[in-house]
Structure 1
Amino acid sequence: MTVCSTKTKRGLLTGTCIAVLAALPGAAFAEAATTPAATATETGGIQDIVVTARKRSENVQTIPVSIRAVDAAMIQRQDITGLEKLAAKAPELIIARSSNGSGASLTIRGVGSNFSSVGVEQSVAVIVDGAYYGHGRTIDEGFFDLARVEVLKGPQALFFGKNATAGVVSITTADPGNSFEGMARIGYEFRSKSLYGEVMASGPVSSTLGIRLAVRGSNMFGGYTKNLATNAFYNTLDIATGATAALLATPADRDQPGTKDLIGRLTLKWAPTENLTDTLKVSGTHSRGGASGFSTILGCAGPTGQRNPNLVCGAKFTTYFNNLPKEYKGATGIKDNELYSDYDSFAINNTFNYKLSDDVTFTTVTNYNKNKVRYLQDYGQQSDAGVWAAINSNFKAFSNESRILTSFDGPVNIMVGAYYQTTEREHDEFVNFIGLINSAAAPGDKYLAFTKFSHTHGETISGFGQAIWKVMPNLEFAGGVRYIHETKRSSFFQPYVNPALAGLFTPQTSDPATTLRVNQTFDNWSPEATLTWRPTPNVTVYGAYKTGYKSGGFSNSGILSPADPRGDGMSFGPESAKGFEGGVKTTLFDRQLRFNLGLYTYTYSGLQVDYFDPLSIRYITRNAGSSRTRGVELELEYVPRAVDGLTLRGTLNYNRSRYVNFLAPCWQGQSIGQGCVLQPLPGQAGNQLLQELGGVATANAPRWTGSAGAEYDVPVSGDIQLGLSADWRFSSSYNSSAFDSPNGFQKAYSTIDASIRLRSEKVGWEFAVIGKNLTNIQYKTGVFDITGTGSGTGTVTGGKQSDTFLLTQLPRTVQVQVTYRF
C-alpha cells in the first residue's frame, strides 16, 4: 500500500509518502503505473492521503488498515537506520537484539517469537521492497536511503501471507525520480564515537531509464556499552593424557560492539511505455563487530555475581565478556580467539508492473537474498564460566509473487495471485567448555566440547484471492482467502562430542546412518472478511475478521542429548491466529484534526517457543498452548491552520495480552509453592520442571503505551529554515521474560527523542543535532537465566534466583550531521 500526503508550510510544498503493502508475502511495494499522486487542494490542515492498500487509489481514512508509519522525512531527521531505531517510534513494537539464535525477537501487541533458535521464524514478518525476510537477522541489514517504513498490527495472512501472525514491518527503499538529485552526508555520534558518511545520486539516464546509487559507511571507534570483564584463568584437563594447564582468557574489547559497516544499493527503473514499469534493486551489507553490545548483567541475587564476586550487578550499559584463550585459535569452525560478530548479505529484487488494459494490471516480484553470519561469543557472561560458541550460519531464499488486479467501474473488483518461495539454511555450531580438552581427537576438535551441523530446505506454494463488492455507494464488503502449502526437509548431525561429556551430549559418529532427519508438510486456508461503512466523506466505520498462520519447523539450534534420543524437542507445529478488529476513522474541525480509534481481539494457538532446559542440558522448541490479546488504540494528528508549519501527533494504546494455557519451564529458584513441579511434557522425552502460566501476561506486553510528538518548521532569515522536533514515548510495566521470571520485570519508563535542524532550501545544506533516548533509560526487551547460577529450583522451599543476562536498547545518543543536497 502506498500512502502519500502533502501539506504546504509557508509556501514550501513538502511531500510525504508512506507505503504500506496490502499484498501477500513477497508482494511489490512499487506503485502501479496508474497510481495517481496526491495533490494539495488547500493550504494547511490535514490533507488527503492517497493509498493503494488493495492496489487501488483510496483515502487512508476509508480503508480498514491499522498502520504505524514513518515517512522519508522522519527517517532522515531522526537517522532511523535500523529496526531498533524504528521501535522507538512505534510504542507497540518491541525489538530484542541477541547474539545467538535468530538474532532478534520482534513483538507487536505482546505477540512475538523467541530469539534463541535460528529455526523459529518470526511471528512479525519483515518485508523489504516487497520480499519476505523471515529471520531475525534482518535486524543487521543496512536500512538507509529509505522511502518509508511501516508497522502493520495484527494478523495479515491475506495480504502478506507467510508468517505474519502478529503483524508486519515493511521497509521500502527509495526509487530514482524524474529529475537529477544528489546528497552527501557526514555525521558523528558522541557516545559510541561513531563516524558515518552517506552519498546518493539519482536521476534519469534517458527518457525511459532512471538510476539511483546510494552508499553508507560507518566506523565505531568506541561503543554503546563498557566491557568490565577481568582476566580469567582456567585449569584445563586433557582427558587423553591427564595433563593439566592454566589458560588465560583476556577481556574482550572494552568498548562494545565496535561495529564497522559498509552498505550499498543500486536501483534501475525502466519505463519504456506508459503501461510498463520494471524496477531492479541490487543491495549488499558488510558488517564487522565484536561481542554483543546491547546487554547488561542485572537481576543478581546480591550486589555481585554469584560466580564472580568482581562483577557488579545493576550497572547501566555494561557487559562482562572474555575472549577465548589464545590456544583455542584455529579450532574447527573458529576464525579467531577474539570475540567477533560478522554479517554479510546480498539481495537482488525485481518488480515488474504491466497494465494489460485500462482496468487490469499484472504485477510480479522476484527476489533472491542470502546472508552469512559468523560469530564467536562468550556465553558465560561473568568472566569465569568458560563457555564459548562459534556459529557459522548461511541462509538463502528465492521467491516470486505474481498477481492480477482489476479496477473496473462496476461494483465488483478482484485480486488473484500466486506465490512461490524456496529456502536453504545451513547452521553449524562449535562449542568450547574450558576445563576439558582431548588431544586424542582430530587436531581441529582437540579444544571442542561438541560440534553440530544442521540443514533445512523449505518450499512454499501459495495461492490467494480477494473480491471487493460495493453493496451500496457507502457500504463495501471485501472477502478473500489464502491457501498455503509448505514443506520442510531438515537434518541434524552431531559428529563430535568430548568423551567426558558423552553423558550430556550424544555423538553421531556414522553419517548418514545416525543423522537425524525430519520431513514436514503443512497446509492451511486463511480467510479474511471486512465490512466498511462510510456515512459521510469524513467518517469511516469498519469491522474485520482476520486470520494468520505460521508453519511449523525444525530447531536448527537444538542439541541432541541422551535425555532426548529421538530429537523430539527439535520439531514443532504451526502457529495460528484468528479474531476481530474494527474501528472508526475521522477527519474533523475543518480538516485540522485526524482522530482514529481502533479495537481488536485475537486468539493465538500453538505458540512457538524455544527455551533451555538445565536438567537435560538441551534447547527445546515446542508449541506452548494459546494466548489472547485484546486492546484499544487511539491515534491523533493536529495541523492547525492558524500556525503554519506546526504538526502535533499522539497515540494511546491499551493492550491486554495473556496466556490462556501454557505449560512453561520454571525460572531458576522457583519453588513448588510458586508453581514449579517436575512432570512429563506431552510429546517430549523425560520429565521437566514446569509451571502453568494460564492467565499470566505474555512477554513484552505492557498494558499501556503511548507517544506524543511535535514538529515545527519556521523561516528565520531569507530562505533559511529552522526545524524543531520532539517525540516522547511511554510504556507501563511489563515482563520481558516469556516465562514470567521475576528477573524479567520492567518497570514503567519513558524516553524522549529530539532534533534541531537548520537548513537552506535554496543552497541545499542542512546542519542537524539529533538526540535519542535522552532520558538514558535502560529498559529490558529480553532476558534469560545465566547457566550455573541460581539453586533450589523445584524444591519445597525454593532457592536462590539466578543472575540474568539482559537484552536492552541503545543508551542516550547524540549526533551531529551535515547534509548537502544538490
Structure 2
Amino acid sequence: MKQQLPKNFKPKALAALIGLTFTLNHASTIAQEAEPETALETITVTAQKRTQNLQEVPVSVTAFTGDEMAEAVIKDMYDLQTNVPGLGAFQSQSATNSSFSIRGVGTSSQNFGLESSVGLYVDGVYRARQNSMINNLVDVAAVEVLRGPQGTLFGKNTPSGAILVSTVTPSHDGGDSFVEATVGNYGLVNLSGATSISAIEDVLAFRVTAFGSQRDGTIDSVGNGSETGKNLLNDRNRWGARVQALYTPNDDVSVRIIADYADIDEICCGAPVQLSNATINPDGEIGSDLALPLLGGTVFAGGDAFYDREVAVSFLPESTMTDKGLSAEVDWELDENYTLVSISAYRNFESFDNIDTDFTDANLFGTYNDSKQSSFSQEIRIDYTGDNLNYILGAYYFTQDLDLDYSLYTDTFFNEFYMSSLGGALDDLFAGINAISAATGGAVAPVADAAPAGTGFDHQAKQQHESYAVFGQFDYELSDTLTLTAGLRYTDETKDLVTIFSENLADGSQSPEFFNSTTELIIGAGAAGVAAGNIGAALAGGQAPSAEDLAALLPFQTAGWGFQ
C-alpha cells in the first residue's frame, strides 16, 4: 500500500525546519563553471561513465550538486522525488518494502528475490536492494537521475532508468569540512558532519563522514490492540558513517577506498493511513466489514475524521535494517588517450520487519520477514578519449547470495474470524460432536480449533545469483553538430533458487491436510454428521462406536483442520 494523501487532505506542518550549517568550500563532482552572463552555465555529468557536458549527453538526465540539494532541503530519496520529474519513491507496509520507479515503471520490493528496474549506484557500485537506498543522503557531491533504459553501460536491471549517487572525495586542503544541525517539529533532530585529513601531502588523504537522524512519528495509534498514543508510527531513527582513503602516488594513478555502515530502526509504517482503517467512507456509508467490531476491532468515524492521521493496529510495526560495504576504485591514466578503471565492491544487507498484516486492532494475523543479502561486484573498463572518437570497453561481474525467512502467522482471534466465515452451516455437527465428547467424559475428543493462533505459513528461501557481462559504447563526431553513438552489451545471468513452504502449528507440528477445497469440506462434514448420529445411537444402546464412525469425526477433532 502506498502512502498517498487524499486530494482533500489538509496537510499539517510536518517538517518545519530550523537549520544551522558550517561549511567551508563544499566539494562537488558536478562542476559548474562560470560563463559570461550571455552564455549558459556548463554542467558536467557522468551519465555515460565519463565527464561530459550535460547538453551534449543523449540521455534524459536530472542532476543536482550537493549545494543544490542543501538549498532544496533534499535529505533522502523521498525528498529527491519531489524535485525530479518522473521519479517515484514509495514505502509500503514497512520500511523494508521500499521501492523506486521512473516514468511510472518500477519493481515491487515485497518479493525479496526481485531486483529493481531502476538501477541504483553509489560511487559506481550497484545496490541490488532497493531499501538500502532510503537512508539519509549525507556528504553527497552529486546525484544524477537517468530516465529511460540504460542497458549498455549500466546493464544491471535498468529498463526504467538509473540513479547515480556520488559522495564527496577526500581532499588535502580540508576546506570542504562541515558540521550541520537541523531541528524541527515532531522532535526532529538531524546531525551530520564530515572532514578531510591530509596524511601525506598530495599523496594520501582520508575523509570521515557521520550522521544521525531522529524524529517522532507522524501517525497516531488508537484503539485497543497495541500501545496507543500520538506520533508513534512513521518515526525516524537512523545513523551511519563512512570512512574513505584517497591514495595518489603520482599524477596518473588514484586509488579510492570506501567503507560505510548505515542503520535504521523504526516503527514503520502506518500503511493504510489514507483510509484510517475505516469501514465508513467520507460520505458516511457503511462498508462491508461489519464483523470487525465483533472481533475487537476499531471502526473509525466518517466525515472529516476519515482523513485523520491515525490507525488502529494489534501491535506497532517493527522495521530494522543494516547496510554495510567496502569498495575500491582504481583509475590509471595509461597515456593521454587511455584510462584504465577498476571498481571492486563487497556489500552486506540485512533487514527484519514484523507487522500487523490485517491492519486492524482485531488480533487476526501478522507477518515477519527476516532477510539477508551479500554481494560482490567487479567492473573493469578502458576509457578512450580522442579528437573525434570516444569509446568505453568493459567487463562486469556480479554475484549475490540471498537468504529469506518469512512467515504469515495467525493471532488469537483468527479462529473466530474463520468460524464466522462459515456461518452456521456446521453448527449442528459441532454441537453433536461436543455432546458426544461430554457424554463419554472426553473419551471422544471435542471439536478442535479450525484455525488456531500461532500457526505459521512459513517460507524459507535461498537464492544464488551470478551475472557476467561485456559492454562497449562508441561516440564518433561526424561534424561539430552531429555525433554517432553506438553501443552493445552481452549478459549471461543465472539464478538458482531453493524454496521450502510449510504450514506449522504453534507446537511445531505440520498443519493437517484433510480438506483441500470447499467441496471436500462439505463432503467431510456430511460424512461426520452421519457418523455422529451412528455414534450417538450406539452409545444410547450401550454399544461401542465403530472405528469407521470415529475416523469420520477425526478431521474436525484435529487442530488446524480449516486451513486447507
TM-score, length-normalised on structure 2? 0.71
Matched, 1:468 2:475: yes
Matched, 1:318 2:325: no
Partner of 2:422 in structure 1?
none
Find 1:217's aligned residue among 205, 212, 216: 212
Structure in which a larger fraction of residues adopt strand: 1
Partner of 2:543 in structure 1?
none
Q: Per the alignment, in what secondary structure is the counterpart of residue 42 of structure 1?
A: coil
Cα offset, 1:108, TM superposition:
1.3
Q: Per the alignment, in what secondary structure is the counterpart of residue 115 of structure 2?
A: coil
Write the letter of the residue equivalent to 1:66.
S
Taking a change above 3 Å as real, the CA distance of residues 475 and 267 of structure 1, as seen in their structure-2 partners, is: same
Find 2:178's aligned residue among 174, 183, 188: 183
Fraction of identical pairs, as percent: 21
Matched, 1:72 2:49: no
Q: Provide the rounded CA distance (Å) in 2 between the counterparts of 1:16 and 1:280.
A: 18
Partner of 2:495 in structure 1?
488
Q: Per the alignment, in what secondary structure is the counterpart of residue 61 of structure 1?
A: helix
Kept after mapping to 1: 8 A contact 2:375/2:398: yes
Matched, 1:345 2:345: no
Q: Provide the rounded CA distance (Å) in 1 between the counterparts of 2:457 and 2:102.
A: 37
Partner of 2:237 in structure 1?
260
Cα offset, 1:415, TM superposition:
1.3
Q: Which runs of 5+ in 2 are unaligned?
A: 1-23, 416-451, 519-564
Find 1:395's aligned residue among 368, 373, 387: 373
**Which runs of structure 2 are paired with 1:367-406 in the superposition (5 Å)?**
367-406=345-384
Q: Provide the rounded CA distance (Å) in 1 between the counterparts of 2:299 and 2:230.
A: 18
Write the letter of the residue equivalent to 2:324.
F
Kept after mapping to 1: 8 A contact 2:29/2:166: no
Q: Which runs of 5+ in 1 are unaligned?
A: 1-12, 20-36, 233-248, 324-337, 438-444, 506-560, 564-822
Q: State the Cα deviation string for residues 563-594 of structure 1 (Å, max 9, x = none).
A: 9xxxxxxxxxxxxxxxxxxxxxxxxxxxxxxx
Taking a change above 3 Å as real, the CA distance of residues 47 and 466 of structure 1, as seen in their structure-2 partners, is: same
Q: State the Cα deviation string for residues 540-585 of structure 1 (Å, max 9, x = none).
A: xxxxxxxxxxxxxxxxxxxxx999xxxxxxxxxxxxxxxxxxxxxx
Cα offset, 1:447, TM superposition:
2.5
Count, aligned residues: 438
Q: Provide the rounded CA distance (Å) in 2 between the counterparts of 1:147 and 1:309.
A: 48
Write the letter of the residue equivalent to 2:501.
Q
Partner of 1:412 in structure 2?
389
Matched, 1:431 2:408: yes
Q: State the Cα deviation string for residues 235-276 of structure 1 (Å, max 9, x = none).
A: xxxxxxxxxxxxxx5558851133322211111111111000
Kept after mapping to 1: 8 A contact 2:35/2:42: no
Kept after mapping to 2: 8 A contact 1:224/1:294: no
Partner of 1:359 in structure 2?
337
Q: Provide the rounded CA distance (Å) in 1 between the counterparts of 2:261 and 2:517.
A: 42
Q: Per the alignment, in what secondary structure is the counterpart of residue 472 of structure 1?
A: coil
Q: Provide the rounded CA distance (Å) in 2 between the counterparts of 1:489 and 1:294.
A: 33
Instruction: Tell me which of the two structures has the higher relative contact order, counting C-alpha pairs closer than 8 angstroms and 6 or more residues apart.
Output: 1
Higher Cα Rg: structure 1 or 2? 2
Q: Provide the rounded CA distance (Å) in 2 between the counterparts of 1:388 and 1:128.
A: 34
Write the letter of the residue equivalent to 2:233.
Q
Q: State the Cα deviation string for residues 673-727 of structure 1 (Å, max 9, x = none).
A: xxxxxxxxxxxxxxxxxxxxxxxxxxxxxxxxxxxxxxxxxxxxxxxxxxxxxxx
Find 1:136's aligned residue among 130, 147, 150: 130
Write the letter of the residue equivalent to 1:184.
V
Q: Provide the rounded CA distance (Å) in 1 between the counterparts of 2:405 and 2:464.
A: 15
Matched, 1:107 2:107: no
Partner of 1:282 in structure 2?
259
Write the letter of the residue equivalent to 1:310.
V
Kept after mapping to 1: 8 A contact 2:94/2:317: no
Q: Which moved more, 1:174-183 or 1:490-499?
A: 490-499
Cα offset, 1:65, TM superposition:
1.7
Q: Provide the rounded CA distance (Å) in 1 between the counterparts of 2:103 and 2:229.
A: 37
What CA RMSD, in Å, does the superposition of the two structures yield over aligned residues? 3.0
Matched, 1:231 2:224: yes
Matched, 1:50 2:57: no
Kept after mapping to 2: 8 A contact 1:197/1:217: yes
Cα offset, 1:122, TM superposition:
1.3
Matched, 1:477 2:466: no
Cα offset, 1:402, TM superposition:
0.3
Q: Per the alignment, in what secondary structure is the counterpart of residue 484 of structure 2?
A: strand
Kept after mapping to 2: 8 A contact 1:503/1:562: no
Q: Provide the rounded CA distance (Å) in 1 between the counterparts of 2:26 and 2:344.
A: 29
**Which runs of structure 2 are paired with 1:478-627 in the superposition (5 Å)?**
478-498=485-505, 502=512
Kept after mapping to 2: 8 A contact 1:293/1:319: yes
**Which runs of structure 2 are paired with 1:750-765 in the superposition (5 Å)?**
none
Partner of 1:121 in structure 2?
115
**Which runs of structure 2 are paired with 1:442-461 in the superposition (5 Å)?**
447-461=454-468
TM-score, length-normalised on structure 1? 0.50
Kept after mapping to 1: 8 A contact 2:348/2:373: yes
Find 1:60's aligned residue among 45, 54, 62: 54
Partner of 1:296 in structure 2?
273
Cα offset, 1:393, TM superposition:
0.6
Q: Provide the rounded CA distance (Å) in 1 between the counterparts of 2:476 and 2:395.
A: 22
Cα offset, 1:476, TM superposition:
1.6
Taking a change above 3 Å as real, the CA distance of residues 91 and 424 of structure 1, as seen in their structure-2 partners, is: same
Kept after mapping to 1: 8 A contact 2:366/2:409: yes
Cα offset, 1:312, TM superposition:
3.9
Kept after mapping to 2: 8 A contact 1:101/1:115: no
**Which runs of structure 2 are paired with 1:726-805 in the superposition (5 Å)?**
none
Taking a change above 3 Å as real, the CA distance of residues 269 and 298 of structure 1, as seen in their structure-2 partners, is: same
Kept after mapping to 1: 8 A contact 2:461/2:497: yes
Structure in which a larger fraction of residues adopt helix: 2
Q: State the Cα deviation string for residues 274-307 of structure 1 (Å, max 9, x = none).
A: 0001111111012211231465142956337733
Kept after mapping to 1: 8 A contact 2:502/2:510: no
